[in-house]
Amino acid sequence: MAKLARLGLSEEEVERMAGELSGILEHVDRIAELDLDDVEPTSHVVELENVLRADVPHESLSPDVALASAPDPVEGAFRVPSPQAEE
Amino acid sequence: MTELLALTALEAHRAMVAGELDAGEYAAAWRQAAGGDELNAYLWRDEGGGPSAIAVERPSIAPIAVKDIFCTEGVPTTAGSRILEGYEPPYTATAVRKLIEAGAPILGKTNMDEFAMGSSNENSAYGPVLNPWDRERVPGGSSGGSAAAVAGGLAPWAIGTDTGGSIRQPAALCGIVGLKPTYGAISRYGMIAFASSLDQCGPFTRDVSDAALMLAILQGQDSCDSTSVGLPKSPSLPDRGDLKGLRFGVPSDLTGHEFDAGVRAVFEATLEKIKDLGGEISTVSLPHAEHGISAYYVIAPAEASSNLARYDGVRYGMRAESSGDVIEMYEQTRAKGFGAEVKRRIMLGTYALSSGYYDAYYGQAQKVRTKIAGDFKGAFDQVDFVVTPTSPSVAFKLGEKTADPLSMYLNDFFTVPMSLAGIPAISIPAGLAQPAGGGPELPVGFQIAAPAFGEQKLLGAAFALEQGIGFDARPEGVPNG
């Protein structure tokens, strides 16, 4: 699960969290007992209709501004370590 | 100066408009008061002559403390997290922009639980906030800094965000007014996302009139937030003198559960007060509301695990040193940048959304949400408002609940159902009660919930009840207006 979440956890964290999460899941599991087969799930509480606006170009952040907070900006781009670790 | 600080935001606004109060002098008095922060309520303060991007040319509204979850151009914005330490956003949140445009100077950015995950403010990477009533106790969370600033005389009013109770619960624990508006009433643009289908901005104020004034400034549709709709009509100042003809429902499915005796006594006395003011009390049924915590702690972490995927050390925020590939850089950055509670919720959310478990957890929780919203609709066929205590206890001690995440989550028992239903709810101070373990009395909040977009009527009832209760206690040393 930590791999999926791209979260580095120490051995100790994994152990502690396993206990805590099973306690929380035990509580959460109560809703599994409810019979809700015919119920529609709610993903949004306010009834909204999609609306489209005119596609008018407007100013957005300049590359300089967008890169200003980056840990490692280079030549107008975000630099990251290589996707393949060196052997 | 004490006289200036004793004014409510509405009184100060009226005095400034009438030319009886010098706006510069008033703002300076508040900057000085905020400078005396001993509660760790502020993470950043404007010492005067702050960044031009947030400058107010002609102040005419009381200066405001802003939860550090709102992006403010050129001003550090951390969301209480190490991963955003030193981050200065390139734009300002709509809610903050509206306050600035209305003439409210920004007093500072307030401390909070990391990414708004917490009920005690102990999950901030920058240390806990102390409750102004008793510095050994928590102010509540996640907007603990905003609540403590207003209650502690460090700001005339503040904004925060509420996902499952993060405005109402700290307002209750600090003895002030906190309003969570209807989902969609206020733009979420520039509000750092925790659980997008639940997050909503709202005011912390000394009284209900100030909450109405601030809601009028904040509400509105925003083209930058497709889920914003605004209120049908801009709220006016409440002036109701009684509660005649109004029906209040007590949800026995929630209030039948065990909670602090002191809180129960204040809750019951407030029901009597409602009757004295001409309101009717009856019992209503919200059969699924008690499952709110379970549904919430699936939905909110699920949405959070997705929203927090953006903190990967690439575009902004910190990046951990790592010698490996880009995946290892992501993992190390997130390991070092996030605190324990955020990691816990990311893991919980990732699990709830993972293949094979999605239907059992996330799908089922969304169905419970439908049932809870339906329960409220049914209740509002019979009554105008649903009322509960805001929090099952008064402010608890620092460290008292940190070892047991579930007991911390149960603080939100009374506030989460309204969040899941997307309806507005306000917490007003209703009295004082001793903590379960004994000791000096602390504030108790009374929660009133209304149908979606029913803010005007909600504020009217809250105002009448507030006048009837006449709560005027303040922490030691805080001027009483």
Which residue among B305, B340, B364 closes a domain?
Answer: B364
Token pair recorded at residue B181: 């508006």
- Both B90 and B184 in a single domain? yes
C-alpha B51/C-alpha B352 separation (Å) is 42
B279-294 mean pLDDT: 96
Domain containing B180 — which CATH number? 3.90.1300.10
Using DSSP, state whether B25 is helix, strand or coil.
Answer: helix
B337 CA: distance to closest CA in chain A (Å): 10
DSSP structural state of residue B132:
T
- Both B233 and B93 in a single domain? yes
Q: Report CA-CA distances (Å) from B104 to B64, B95, B99, B182.
A: 6, 12, 5, 23
pLDDT in the model for residue B322: 85
Scanning B142-260, the segments in alpha helix (DSSP H) are: 144-151, 168-174, 208-218, 252-255
- The chain A residue lying nearest B312, using CA atoms, is A6
The verdict on residue B377 lying in a domain is no
- Both B34 and B142 in a single domain? yes
Confidence of residue B97 (pLDDT cuts 50, 70, 90): very high
pLDDT in the model for residue B351: 93
Asked whether the beta carbons of residue A71 and residue B350 sit closer than 8 angstroms, the reply is no
Chain A residues near residue B315 by CB distance under 8 angstroms: 66, 69-70, 78
Token pair recorded at residue B34: 């905020």
Domain housing B214: 2-237+450-469
B354 classed as catalytic: no
Strands B64-67 and A77-78: unpaired
Residue with structure tokens 């909040």?
B445
pLDDT at B122 over 90: yes
Per-residue pLDDT tens over the stretch B168-204: 999 999 999 999 999 999 999 999 999 999 999 999 9
The verdict on residue B402 lying in a domain is no
pLDDT in the model for residue B113: 98
The verdict on residue B219 lying in a domain is yes
pLDDT cut 90: percent of chain A above it: 59
Per-residue pLDDT tens over the stretch B48-83: 877 888 888 888 999 999 999 999 999 999 999 999
pLDDT in the model for residue B263: 97
- Both B197 and B299 in a single domain? no
- Both B122 and B18 in a single domain? yes
- Both B84 and B148 in a single domain? yes
Q: How many CB pairs under 8 A join A and B?
A: 167
The lowest-confidence range among A53-57, B116-120, B374-378 is A53-57
Among B442, B450, B452, which residue's Cα sits nearest to residue B475? B442
B5-22 mean pLDDT: 96
A55-71 mean pLDDT: 91
Question: Mean of the per-residue pLDDT values for chain B?
Answer: 95
pLDDT at B300 over 90: yes
A77 touches chain B (CB under 8 A): no
A55 CA: distance to closest CA in chain B (Å): 13
Q: Assign 3-state DSSP to chain A and report helix, strand, coil percentages, each to 5.
A: 30, 5, 65
pLDDT in the model for residue B1: 66
Count how many domains chain B has.
2
The lowest-confidence range among B126-135, B201-210, B316-325, B378-387 is B316-325
A6, A31, A42: residue with CB nearest B330: A6
Confidence of residue B2 (pLDDT cuts 50, 70, 90): confident
pLDDT at A86 over 70: no
The one-letter code for the residue type at B232 is P
- Both B233 and B337 in a single domain? no
The verdict on residue B398 lying in a domain is no
Which residue among B320, B347, B364 closes a domain?
Answer: B364
B325 CA: distance to closest CA in chain A (Å): 4
Residues sharing a CB contact under 8 Å with residue B403, sequence separation 6 or more, in sequence order: none
- Both B12 and B149 in a single domain? yes
C-alpha B421/C-alpha B182 separation (Å) is 9
Q: Report CA-CA distances (Å) from B252 to B266, B288, B312.
A: 17, 12, 45
The verdict on residue B256 lying in a domain is no
Asked whether the beta carbons of residue A7 and residue B334 sit closer than 8 angstroms, the reply is yes
Helices (H) and strands (E) in chain B, counts: 16, 11
Residues sharing a CB contact under 8 Å with residue B324, sequence separation 6 or more, in sequence order: A81, A85
Confidence of residue A45 (pLDDT cuts 50, 70, 90): confident
Token pair recorded at residue B472: 């005027």
H or E segment to which residue A42 belongs: none
The verdict on residue B371 lying in a domain is no
B350 touches chain A (CB under 8 A): yes
pLDDT in the model for residue A67: 94
pLDDT in the model for residue B216: 98
Q: Report CA-CA distances (Å) from B60 to A49, B202, B240.
A: 37, 20, 26
User: Phi and psi dihedrals of B440, rounded to 5?
Assistant: -60, 150
DSSP structural state of residue B191:
B
- Both B112 and B188 in a single domain? yes
- Both B301 and B226 in a single domain? no
Are B87 and B344 a contacting pair, CB within 8 Å?
no
Q: Report CA-CA distances (Å) from B463 to B177, B273, B370, B466.
A: 11, 13, 31, 5
- Both B339 and B454 in a single domain? no
Residue with structure tokens 């010492």?
B47
Angle at B225 between CA B221 and CA B230, to 5 degrees: 20
A23, A41, A84: residue with CB nearest B366: A41
- Both B161 and B14 in a single domain? yes
Asked whether the beta carbons of residue B368 and residue A7 sit closer than 8 angstroms, the reply is no
pLDDT in the model for residue B186: 98
Token pair recorded at residue A61: 């952040």
pLDDT in the model for residue B481: 60
Asked whether the beta carbons of residue B91 and residue A61 sit closer than 8 angstroms, the reply is yes
The verdict on residue B426 lying in a domain is no
Which residue among B303, B335, B364 closes a domain?
Answer: B364
The verdict on residue B415 lying in a domain is no
Among B374, B448, B474, which residue's Cα sits nearest to residue B208? B448
- Chain A, 17 to 56: residues with Cβ < 8 Å from chain B are 17, 20-21, 23-25, 27-32, 34, 36, 39-46, 48, 53
Angle at B172 between CA B169 and CA B178, to 5 degrees: 75
ipTM for the assembly: 0.92
B4-14 mean pLDDT: 96
C-alpha A67/C-alpha A85 separation (Å) is 25
Residue with structure tokens 């609306």?
A51
Among B97, B99, B77, B79, which residue's Cα sits nearest to residue B89? B77
pLDDT in the model for residue B32: 96
Question: Mean of the per-residue pLDDT values for chain A?
Answer: 88
pLDDT at A87 over 70: no
The lowest-confidence range among A34-48, B69-83, B157-171, B305-319 is A34-48
